[in-house]
Every structure is written in C-alpha cells, then in structure tokens.
Structure 1
C-alpha cells in the first residue's frame, strides 16, 4: 500500500495503474452521496481528474489488514487535514475493490 500511495502522491500514474485490477471497483462515499467507479480506465480518469491542478498530498496514519480475507483498511489524512477511511480487497496481488469514505476534517 505504501508504494501505491507514494505513486498517487507523486502523480506517477503509470506506477499507480500497475496496482489496479482490470475490473477494479471503487465506491466513493462523501457522507451524502455514493458513487461507483468501475474498471481500471474509469478509475484512472477519476483519480487524475481529482488531482488536476492540485499539489495536495496525504499520508497514511494507520493500516490494518486481514490477510485471510485479503482486506486492507487505511486511514489517510491530506495536507488540509481532511481524512478518508479506505478499505481495499486484494485479488491476485492487485486492488480489486476499494471503498473510500471521505470523513472531512478531524
């Protein structure tokens, strides 16, 4: 996960894409709306759009995993103090599903 997050922070989209399953599913929840992003191409389009003209980076303050169920949960905080809880399902060494909950500032 550290390499995946580093690629996102440096906007190295080629390295970032290497972590994504071709049929990745990303569910983004901001507390009032939930959006599903399906497939690697749509995922990459959405993440690049989210960072367009932005220098914001984040760091991971906690990681938990359940290797038996291939789950990883992370708590992230960006430069503006905004937090997100992300839960990943890993399949064949790639991110197959992600649920991201935008939690706002602490």
Structure 2
C-alpha cells in the first residue's frame, strides 16, 4: 500500500503547524503552556486524539512539568510537544503499516 495524496497533504499541514507552534513557544512560552485539567478540552478543540495522548504520556514520551516547587503546583504540558508526539505516532503507524516505502 501507499499513502494517498490527502494523507501526504495532511501530514505536511501537520508539520507546518508544528513549526508554527514551536516558533510561538520560543517567542511566547506562556501561550504554549496547558494545564493538566485543560488538556482534554484542548484536544477536543484541536481534533487531537486524546486516547493516543494518554498512551504517550503513560509511555513517557509526553512529559509534564511543574512551575512551582510545591507538590500541589499544577502540572503543565506543552501544546507543541503534544502535537509533535501525536504526529510522530501517526507517522510511525503509517510506517509500520507499510504505507510509506
């Protein structure tokens, strides 16, 4: 099997989006931060697969961080890191399903 032109176009758009999100993270780091309680809502709003994200978090691919020193400080995630991990997982799936040669 091979990839369709739509799949290639979607993947290119995703990589452009990652580039933009990385630039935003570099210039405005606070706009890239996402609290743990808001992750699911953000995933729904951006059509990001939340179940895949949970698997990536469990595997340690997507990591959280705390802004404060306290144990009760909220956990934060990077939107750019989440999007990049999801797209890399999708690309890996294409490769393992032998859609890319």
Query: Is the helix fraction higher in 1 or 2?
Result: 2
Structure number with greater CO (CA < 8 Å, separation at least 6) is 2
Assess same fold via TM > 0.5. no
Query: Is the strand fraction higher in 1 or 2?
Result: 1
TM-score with structure 2 setting the length: 0.30
TM-score with structure 1 setting the length: 0.29
- Indicate the structure (1 or 2) with the bigger Cα radius of gyration: 2
